[in-house]
């Protein structure tokens, strides 16, 4: 997803400004509504490209090919969404990234998936984890187990949804569903692979650095109010200083 101009004997990398929104931990629906609002703002060229980073409260989401029977625990909240793929779990200890990117061509989605995989492969390498793209479907794999999932959607030529990278995720939660149609035991995490705690902030820093390198952007950290003139649907406005 790098933008370049080619001369007779050189290629010049054009680095673009982009925003970074680190939300900490938020409910899934709130961030889903936020994504949709930002997609429209990006489609109208009111904001540049950007990336949301977040951890979610426990939830199962079903992509376009997902089936409700793939969620085995009736107590787990289910949200049907427009991303590609099947069922997956989101919860604490999982770093979720939502790239809001305007694509020049819808066919660039395949390249986008490859570039996201590259960001996560490099992040794993920073922590001494030998990861690969080689698995039953797209994503990032370690020793035959899936450490990161990718599922995207495109609206008005702008991407949303994104990746879910297991840092210190409670892997027992995946046993409550069939992630991407597999037995929940297929999932792993950075902590499981390494055998010791991994700091989420360190992983975020690695993802941010590699996203900038792979996508040719320079991030500026922002707040939601800098991107949206009004709160997104489903989110109540709050007084200044309110938590």
Which residue ranges in the chain fall short of pLDDT 50? Answer: 1-12, 236-243
pLDDT at 27: 98
pLDDT at 3: 46
Domain regions of the chain by residue span? 19-218
Cα dihedral value 127, 130, 131, 133, nearest 10: 140
Q: Which candidate in 31, 100, 101, 180 is catalytic?
A: 180
The structure tokens 């919860």 sit at 91
pLDDT at 238: 39
pLDDT at 152: 94
Q: What is the CATH number of domain 19-218?
A: 3.30.930.10
In the residue annotation, 180 being an active-site residue is answered as yes
Our measurement of the distance from residue 179's CA atom to the centroid of its chain's CA atoms, rounded to an integer in Å, reads: 16
Please, where are the H alpha helices in the chain?
28-43, 108-126, 190-194, 200-215, 224-227
Show Cβ contacts of residue 233 under 8 Å, excluding neighbours closer than 6 positions.
33, 36, 37
């Amino acid at each position: 997803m790098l933008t370049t101009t080619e001369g007779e004997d050189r290629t010049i990398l054009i680095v673009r400004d982009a925003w970074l929104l680190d939300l900490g931990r938020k409910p899934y629906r709130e961030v889903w509504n936020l994504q949709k609002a930002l997609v429209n703002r990006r489609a109208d060229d009111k904001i540049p490209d950007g990336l949301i980073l977040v951890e979610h409260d426990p939830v199962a989401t079903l992509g376009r090919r997902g089936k409700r029977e793939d969620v085995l625990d009736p107590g787990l909240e289910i949200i049907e969404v427009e991303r590609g793929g099947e069922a997956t779990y989101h919860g604490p200890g999982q770093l979720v990234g939502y790239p809001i990117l305007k694509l020049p061509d819808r066919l660039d989605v395949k390249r986008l998936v490859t570039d996201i995989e590259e960001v996560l492969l490099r992040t794993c390498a920073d922590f001494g984890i030998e990861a690969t793209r080689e698995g039953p479907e797209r994503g990032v794999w370690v020793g035959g187990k899936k450490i990161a999932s990718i599922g995207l959607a495109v609206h008005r030529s702008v991407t949303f949804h994104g990746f879910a990278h297991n840092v210190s995720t409670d892997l027992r939660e995946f046993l409550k569903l069939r992630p991407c149609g597999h037995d929940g035991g297929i999932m792993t995490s950075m902590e499981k692979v390494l055998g010791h705690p991994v700091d989420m902030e360190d992983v975020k820093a690695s993802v941010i650095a590699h996203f900038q390198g792979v996508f040719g952007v320079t991030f500026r950290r922002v707040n939601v109010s800098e991107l949206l003139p009004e709160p997104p649907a489903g989110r109540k406005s709050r007084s200044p200083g309110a938590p």
